[in-house]
A and B are shown apart, each in its own frame.
Chain A
Amino acid sequence: MKMNNDPLLSVKDLRTCFRTTNGLARAVDGISFDIPAGKTLALVGESGCGKSVTALSIMRLIQEPAGYIAGDRIIFQGQDLLKLSKRKMREIRGNRISMIFQEPMTSLNPVMTIGEQIMEVIQLHRGLSKKEALGLAVEMLNQVKIPDPAIRISEYPHQLSGGMKQRVMIAIALSCEPDLLIADEPTTSLDVTVQAQILMLMKELQQKEGTAILLITHDIAVVYEVADYITVMYAGRAIEQAKRSRFFRHACHPYTTRLFESLPSMDKRNEQLSTIPGRVPDPTRYPEGCRFADRCHLAFDRCNKEDPKMRFIEKGHSIACHLENAPAISTATATITRKTEGRATYTSSPLVSVKDLKIYYPIRKGLLKSIVGHVKAVDGIDISIGQGETLALVGESGCGKTTMGRGILRLIDITCGTIHFNNIDIMHISGSKLRRLRKDMQIMFQDPYGSLNPRMMVNQIISEGLISQGIGGNKKERDNIVKELMDQVGLDPGMIHRYPHEFSGGQRQRIGIARFLAVKPKFVVCDEVTSALDVSVQAQILNLLKTLQQREDLSYLFITHNLSVVTYIADLVAVMYLGKIVERGTIREVFDTPGHPYTQALLAASPCIGEDGRKKIFLEGEVPSPVNPPEGCHFHPRCPKVMPGCRKVYPGQYSLSETHSTRCWLYE
């Protein structure tokens, strides 16, 4: 791909391998791309396709001897990084090329102050005295917009929030004014509002310093917002490369188009999402032909025999595909006719009805553990969910969504309030009655790795609920039910005797679904169930949840921070902020005409494809601690429309329509 006469970084046929017990894993297998100075190249793809390994290879941080770079060249400012001595490479790392990582929570050394961690790199590469380095470190913190940098500099990482830590990481990375910044999923673990802040900050600093950025992400919407060039990676290789403007109109590799089609959105509400069957091939055993052939809906004979080479289909746009006229993506241009809305009003007698739910955690201090205050995780919430309905609960992390979900199922202690399930008051029933009722109300968790007992086989995991509820007579009968369930959720019933570690993330979430389906529930709390999954897998899980809902007339409480998932799956949405619901309504009402400034900001902050020139509302700061929520409306310190009255009293509920209401003084 020809971009510029003299790119800053030119990766040529990079190959990185790892020795594993199954043989040689070719994690990166011949990728080439260029990054011009001052521009952003996004490396996109599903997990396991070699994005991070590519980044680590450029930094030469592949851990030897298990891994090694087999070829060919990484030309940075005219010199081949692979030919440099270790010492010379160390002079480049953190200095000319620096890197930030996905997990700000764990990327900083917990026993060193953030000042020490910034100064360390400054002193190392710039040869400044301690005093000069300190001054520069404060200046860097200021640049990344950390308030009170002179005080914050002597704090430790655990005293900062996730967004703040990522700012510190950026400060470390940019303190030596590098020419290239490698950002490996820098905003994936952050809230959309903080993500918007961090992306904005990176863009600003890029414009000021002229730093080139290699952005690694799986989020195409983020790519749309920040990238100049895009390289789509699959199974260790680039399969499509283009400029941003062309990519979002004419991307045409079947893998890329499928990725686009699997993104959930409001327009697709009444249809199944496209999915990509199968999974990324094992890097120890790549197929002979095209590596995507067995998952490709357009594959033909030649694909299985011959490996497609990258070829230009237009100036600055190349793909690795045998198709002569591959159909381009349609989402950016085509408007899908909106079908009639699904049922979106409360049914007369809701299945789940929660009134004034409060979940407080006592704060204990001192030797005698006396209670000095309360964390109001959930502070007076009313919701109701009808049979077959999906209510989405959205909000930034720390606002009490998960506590709320668990509270409704009485999995945690409730301070006060009433919960009716199927007209039964579950706050005041005995433990044994509640246990019997558990059959009807289930939960599914976010982390597909942590939520399955690693020492139990799939059949044990799924049949546990059957046993406890006395369903299925003997083991053989139960095994048959388990097999049936596995088939229903799209798992091979032959894998009944396998352990969780033998499954992929998406398959594990399917096990999670089979586990709750086993007891035929009426109501399921889905707590961020797709946030750990790739988009194509997310699409599969969303499809499955939707199909099951229609067939079994299930009700879901869908807890998520991903707004596009909400628009696809939910009928109703409730926006939560610091323990209270600030806005609720049907999807259309809340997303088309958001009333509360917080909802407006959330919607504006979430990246979106095809909305150029959309007015961005940047929320300052982060969710305050629920220990001491701000007086009056909890949102007022961050609210762009704050009025004097907001600081005094929490607003009441104002109806905007029969189903749409908000708690904001603007509507008084």
Chain B
Amino acid sequence: MRRYIIKRGVLLIPVIMGVVTFVFLLIHLIPGDPVDMMLGETAQQADREMLRTRLGLNDPIHLQYYKFIKGIVRGDLGDSIHYNRPVLEIIIDRFPATLELTLGAIVIAILISIPVGIIAAARQYSIFDNSSMLLALLGISMPNFWLGPLLIIVFSIKLGWLPVSGMGGLTYLILPSVTLGTSMAAILSRMTRSSLLEVIRKDYITTARAKGLSELVIMVKHALTNALLPIVTIIGLQFGALLSGSIITEMIFSWPGIGRLTIQAIITRDYPLVQGCVLFIALCYVMVNLLTDLLYVFIDPRIRLSE
């Protein structure tokens, strides 16, 4: 097991290096002069030179790369042009909001999808199964930028039950989490259903039935634990979609998280901040996938006991 964990950890190194390199190159991939893009063509030559020096763009590229990596290792992602503060500080400020939103979305997705998936699998082709899977299809097809405003119109404006936007107590969290979590819930319930359907045809489920266990025990204790591996994989992979989805959702609900920060940084052409945000989101994604791999260890003894 320790080998497995170490192996997973070591495998991350090239991935992280790739991400860092890509983010570094981001500024150089912009067509034209990045300084022009940031300051506009009407800017004074002196201002341009100043920014150029501040961003270190006058140095040879390998030196820039070296400085960039050195900065990351020290936790220095440069300063935001717009806010005039260290990028890392701004990101750390905003991160809890995004974390709250994504966790809210995941919790909602799991709470809906696992029971729905179990019932749909236990009663395959029943009315519940068919209608829930139809709903799931709808859930996957609905884009956030459409679902979000729709929920605001119904629950905030028409019914007046929930706040329209902003961050505050739990009531503020509901609509954005639902918006963000819907497609994940839909994908997860389909996944749970199909994974369970595969498992309940296995011989060991017949063994469990032959033991005289009740259907509920069979479904939860024997089937779900075996069906969990693909479900956890999907949760891990969907986390990436959740992060990118949060960019739009945070805009709709004026949620002060990383997503909105990224958009603002792009609009204001605050390249150090864009770099920081992209790097941060990418690292989050990588870490979640590592966590998923580690979760396998607890779910499946065959992975746990290998080596």
Contact = CB atoms under 8 A, between A and B. Distances in A.
B73 interface: no
Interface size class of A (residues with CB under 8 A): 20 to 34
A530 B299 CA distance: 39
Interface in B197-212: 202-204, 206-212
A588 interface: no
Contacts of B208: 109
Contacts of B211: 93-94, 98, 120-121, 124, 172
A31 B25 CA distance: 76
Interface in A58-108: 59, 61, 90-95, 98-99, 101, 103, 106-108
A121 B221 CA distance: 13
Interface string A159-180: 1000000000100100000000
B213 A110 contact: no
A643 interface: no
A156 B299 CA distance: 13
25 contacts: A59-B210, A61-B206, A61-B210, A90-B212, A93-B209, A93-B212, A94-B213, A98-B210, A107-B206, A107-B207, A108-B207, A109-B204, A109-B207, A109-B208, A110-B300, A111-B225, A111-B226, A112-B225, A120-B213, A121-B211, A124-B212, A125-B212, A156-B301, A156-B302, A366-B3
Given A101-B203, A158-B302, A367-B6, A109 B209 contact: no
Interface in A165-210: 169, 172
Interface of B: 3, 6-7, 10, 202-204, 206-214, 222, 225-226, 299-302, 305, 307
Contacts of A98: 210-211
Interface string A207-225: 0000000000000000000
**Which 8 pairs from chain A and chain B are nearest by CB?**
A93-B212, A94-B211, A94-B212, A106-B203, A156-B301, A99-B210, A90-B212, A109-B204
Given A124-B213, A172-B211, A109 B226 contact: yes
Interface string A37-73: 0000000000000000000000101000000000000
Contacts of B222: 109, 112
Nearest to B300: A111
Contacts of A108: 204, 207
B202 A106 contact: yes
Contacts of B6: 367
Contacts of B299: 111
Contacts of A121: 211-212
Contact of A110 (B3, B212, B214, B302): B302
A650 B302 CA distance: 35
A101 B207 contact: yes
B15 to A, nearest CB: 16
A174 B261 CA distance: 64
B161 to A, nearest CB: 41
B169 to A, nearest CB: 40
A110 B226 contact: yes
A99 B206 CA distance: 10
A110 B208 CA distance: 12
A386 to B, nearest CB: 44
A228 B24 CA distance: 80
Contacts, number: 78
Contacts of A169: 207
A107 B207 CA distance: 6
B204 A94 contact: no
A332 B211 CA distance: 40
Nearest to B205: A109
Contacts of B7: 367
Contacts of B202: 106
Contacts of A95: 212
B204 to A, nearest CB: 4
B246 to A, nearest CB: 33
A334 to B, nearest CB: 42
A615 to B, nearest CB: 36
Interface in A484-504: none
Contacts of B3: 366
A366 B307 CA distance: 9
Given A59-B209, A93-B209, A109-B222, 17 more contacts: A59-B210, A61-B209, A94-B210, A94-B211, A94-B213, A95-B212, A101-B203, A101-B207, A107-B206, A107-B207, A109-B204, A109-B207, A110-B204, A111-B225, A111-B226, A125-B212, A158-B305
Nearest to A106: B203
A106 B204 contact: yes
A113 B202 CA distance: 17
A188 to B, nearest CB: 13
Contacts of A156: 301-302, 305
Contacts of B226: 109-111
A90 B214 contact: yes
Contacts of A113: 301
Interface string A232-272: 00000000000000000000000000000000000000000
A172 B213 contact: no
Among A109, A110, A120, A125, chain B packs the most CB atoms within 10 A around the CB of: A109
A98 B204 CA distance: 14
Contacts of A111: 225-226, 299-301
B210 A103 contact: no
A103 B211 CA distance: 16
A494 to B, nearest CB: 35
B186 to A, nearest CB: 27
A652 B211 CA distance: 52
A159 B305 contact: yes
Contacts of A172: 207, 211
A576 B203 CA distance: 32
Contacts of A106: 202-204
A51 to B, nearest CB: 15
B3 to A, nearest CB: 8
Contacts of A109: 204, 207-208, 222, 225-226
Interface in A117-136: 120-121, 124-125
A191 B6 CA distance: 39
Contacts of A110: 204, 226, 300-302
Nearest to B11: A367
Among A59, A95, A120, chain B packs the most CB atoms within 10 A around the CB of: A120
Contacts of A90: 212-214
A93 B206 CA distance: 11
Nearest to B7: A367
A101 B10 contact: no
Nearest to A97: B210
B296 to A, nearest CB: 11
Contacts of B213: 90, 94, 120, 124
A107 B204 contact: yes
Interface in A332-366: 365-366
A628 to B, nearest CB: 16
Contacts of A366: 3
A393 B212 CA distance: 44
